[in-house]
A = this chain, B = another copy of it.
Amino acid sequence: MADRDPQGTFQAVEAATGEAIDPSFSQSTAQDVDAACAKAAGAFDSYRAIEPDKRAAFLEAIGDEIMALGDELLERAGRETGLPAARLTGERGRTVGQLKLFAKTVRDGHWQSVRIDPAMPEREPMPRSDLRMRMVPLGPVAVFGASNFPLAFSTAGGDTASALAAGCPVVVKGHPAHPGTDEMVAGAIAEAARKTGMPDGVFGHVRGTGNELGAALVKDPRIAAVGFTGSRAGGLALVAVAQQREVPIPVYAEMSSINPVVLMPHALKQRGAELGAAFVQSLTMGAGQFCTNPGLVLAIEGEGLDAFESAASEALAGHDPQPMLTGGIRKAFSQGTAKLAGHDGVTELAAGVAGDGIAREAARLFSASAEAFLGDPALGAEVFGASSLVVHCKDAGELRKVLESLEGQLTATLQMDDADTDAVRPLIPVLERKAGRILANGWPTGVEVATAMVHGGPYPATSDSRTTSVGTLAIDRFLRPVCYQNLPLTLLPETLRDGTKLPKMVDGEPA
């Protein structure tokens, strides 16, 4: 995390060493928030009126400008986050791909949800007026950068891309753990806006280390919605601020999830050891700093589970950790794992290599009985980082009971063989109620940016289960419907006029 000085500036910290990195960045003030929101509100009507093709070109240009930053961006992000170069290269590709996918989404127009119910002047007993509906953007959106995805979920990440795609100006609060990365990307967005002729104010940017800044942004009456990825405490604080406004606004906070992995008996029996090794790969990827990190494993006890645990313990014992993102995250991980290790009902199965340097934390694996897990909700709390708990169930009934006891999750994973199918079937409705994404024979980490992706889920995985923050459906978060009744054709938005080429429903049928 960043160092703050009394002069209102702060510096990034090298994740691996804890050393401050030049230069210093100025802290944004309440006046900066006010100015950014005023400009965003001023840009709203003109930005949303811009034709889809130009809006799409803006999104693509952001991607181009990010690529034009070259290796310097990746180097800076690497120093600030401790994430390895290969990961950051991949994340950059994902970020640019995401912008392109939203550009395509803007152009194809499904997001406008055009519906037309033609007039029925002869209808008895009452004629029907001409009714036409489309989606319009909510207004300026506040986006909070995430520490664990300095590119794909920060300044030009999924929230920014989907809000801009929807026609909403965006004001980003950059994450203070990677201010240099944030600064470079914010510059790329501003440059793209300039080159593609977007209205001044379409993108605003503030930064700072305190919580007051984010609260001021969410409180601003010109902000119409909020996108956030981070901790449960952080997300709930923003939700509370948003609800207490004179005009409450939606907050899309992606907060916490322990992503249960269910190991079914036949799969365990056939490939328990193989699963154990693969599991550790998913658990330790990126120092476990993923929202979808598998923090909970459920299985029925027996030889298969023993083999899984042995293989996982062995793989873990040899794991050499990478630095964690920030001192705060490291401290929370250290406290969370200490709590598990000291818990009466918990056994420590294995720990990874402790690692050199102040920033590294050994990966940890624990186990507990289902009875212990059901008896203490604290065992279901997220420990952000490479820590997981294997819960031993006596039988299928107890396994189901544990699943039913869980809070809302981003994902639920099944490791299963064909012979497990009948046993899995009754679990599907439970998983559907608990999670936004159900996977079989894969691992929850690695979220595809696609049309059918759901990176969301029931509370407290997110603050709003009706949405996703990854994939094209994310655009819907920033839209609302408006109906135009009997409006003269020349006053209708072009997308609703007769002969519009957009995908549409006419009298409820695709046309």
> In the bound complex, do residue A487 and residue B438 qualify as a contact, i.e. CB atoms below 8 Å apart?
yes
| Shortest Cβ gap from A482 to chain B (Å) | 5
Binds B, one of A103-111, A144-152, A340-348, A381-389: A103-111
| Shortest Cβ gap from A346 to chain B (Å) | 25
A456 (CB) vs chain B CBs: closest residue = B481
B residues near A138, Cβ cutoff 8 Å: 465-466
**Residue among B465, B481, B490 making CB contact with A480, cutoff 8 Å:** B465
> In the bound complex, do residue B452 and residue A115 qualify as a contact, i.e. CB atoms below 8 Å apart?
yes
Using A452-B133, A483-B453, A508-B451 as known contacts, say yes or no to A428 and B491 having CB atoms under 8 A apart. yes
> In the bound complex, do residue A483 and residue B507 qualify as a contact, i.e. CB atoms below 8 Å apart?
no
Scoring A408, A424, A448, A468 by chain B CB atoms within 10 A of each residue's CB, the highest score goes to A448
> In the bound complex, do residue B488 and residue A432 qualify as a contact, i.e. CB atoms below 8 Å apart?
no
A132 (CB) vs chain B CBs: closest residue = B452
> In the bound complex, do residue A128 and residue B450 qualify as a contact, i.e. CB atoms below 8 Å apart?
yes
Any B CB within 8 A of the CB of A510: yes
Any B CB within 8 A of the CB of A84: no
Binds B, one of A243-251, A277-285, A352-360, A394-402: A243-251
B residues near A247, Cβ cutoff 8 Å: 408, 458-460
> In the bound complex, do residue A484 and residue B421 qualify as a contact, i.e. CB atoms below 8 Å apart?
no
C-beta contact mask, A169-192 vs B, less than 8 Å → 1, else 0? Answer: 000000000000000000000000
> In the bound complex, do residue A131 and residue B243 qualify as a contact, i.e. CB atoms below 8 Å apart?
no
A431 (CB) vs chain B CBs: closest residue = B482
> In the bound complex, do residue B487 and residue A440 qualify as a contact, i.e. CB atoms below 8 Å apart?
yes
> In the bound complex, do residue B440 and residue A486 qualify as a contact, i.e. CB atoms below 8 Å apart?
yes
**Residue among B442, B485, B490 making CB contact with A129, cutoff 8 Å:** B442
Any B CB within 8 A of the CB of A23: no
Using A139-B433, A439-B486 as known contacts, say yes or no to A468 and B452 having CB atoms under 8 A apart. no
Any B CB within 8 A of the CB of A117: yes
Using A437-B485, A508-B105 as known contacts, say yes or no to A491 and B452 having CB atoms under 8 A apart. no
Scoring A125, A129, A437, A481 by chain B CB atoms within 10 A of each residue's CB, the highest score goes to A481
Any B CB within 8 A of the CB of A418: yes
Any B CB within 8 A of the CB of A56: no
| Shortest Cβ gap from A63 to chain B (Å) | 18
B residues near A429, Cβ cutoff 8 Å: 45, 48-49
| Chain A binding surface, main DSSP class | mixed
> In the bound complex, do residue A503 and residue B510 qualify as a contact, i.e. CB atoms below 8 Å apart?
yes
Bound Cα distance A472, B468 (Å): 22
- Report the copy number of this chain in the oligomer: 2
Bound Cα distance A485, B48 (Å): 34
| Shortest Cβ gap from A43 to chain B (Å) | 12
> In the bound complex, do residue B440 and residue A491 qualify as a contact, i.e. CB atoms below 8 Å apart?
yes
> In the bound complex, do residue B451 and residue A115 qualify as a contact, i.e. CB atoms below 8 Å apart?
yes
C-beta contact mask, A136-171 vs B, less than 8 Å → 1, else 0? Answer: 101100000000000000000000000000000000
> In the bound complex, do residue B510 and residue A510 qualify as a contact, i.e. CB atoms below 8 Å apart?
yes
Any B CB within 8 A of the CB of A446: yes
Any B CB within 8 A of the CB of A126: yes
Using A133-B473, A446-B126, A510-B510 as known contacts, say yes or no to A488 and B438 having CB atoms under 8 A apart. no
B residues near A139, Cβ cutoff 8 Å: 433
A437 (CB) vs chain B CBs: closest residue = B483
Using A133-B452, A133-B473 as known contacts, say yes or no to A437 and B507 having CB atoms under 8 A apart. no
| Shortest Cβ gap from A401 to chain B (Å) | 16
B residues near A472, Cβ cutoff 8 Å: 508
| Shortest Cβ gap from A399 to chain B (Å) | 17
Bound Cα distance A467, B507 (Å): 19
| Shortest Cβ gap from A494 to chain B (Å) | 12
Any B CB within 8 A of the CB of A454: yes
| Shortest Cβ gap from A408 to chain B (Å) | 8
A243 (CB) vs chain B CBs: closest residue = B243
> In the bound complex, do residue A104 and residue B487 qualify as a contact, i.e. CB atoms below 8 Å apart?
no
A93 (CB) vs chain B CBs: closest residue = B125
| Shortest Cβ gap from A461 to chain B (Å) | 11
Any B CB within 8 A of the CB of A505: yes
C-beta contact mask, A407-433 vs B, less than 8 Å → 1, else 0? Answer: 010000010101001001100110011
Q: Which 5 A-B pairs have the closest CB atoms?
A: A454-B483, A133-B452, A115-B452, A131-B452, A439-B485
Show 17 A/B contacts (Cβ-Cβ < 8 Å), sorted by A.
A48-B429, A90-B125, A105-B508, A108-B509, A129-B439, A131-B450, A131-B452, A131-B453, A138-B465, A239-B248, A436-B482, A440-B486, A440-B487, A454-B483, A458-B480, A465-B480, A468-B481
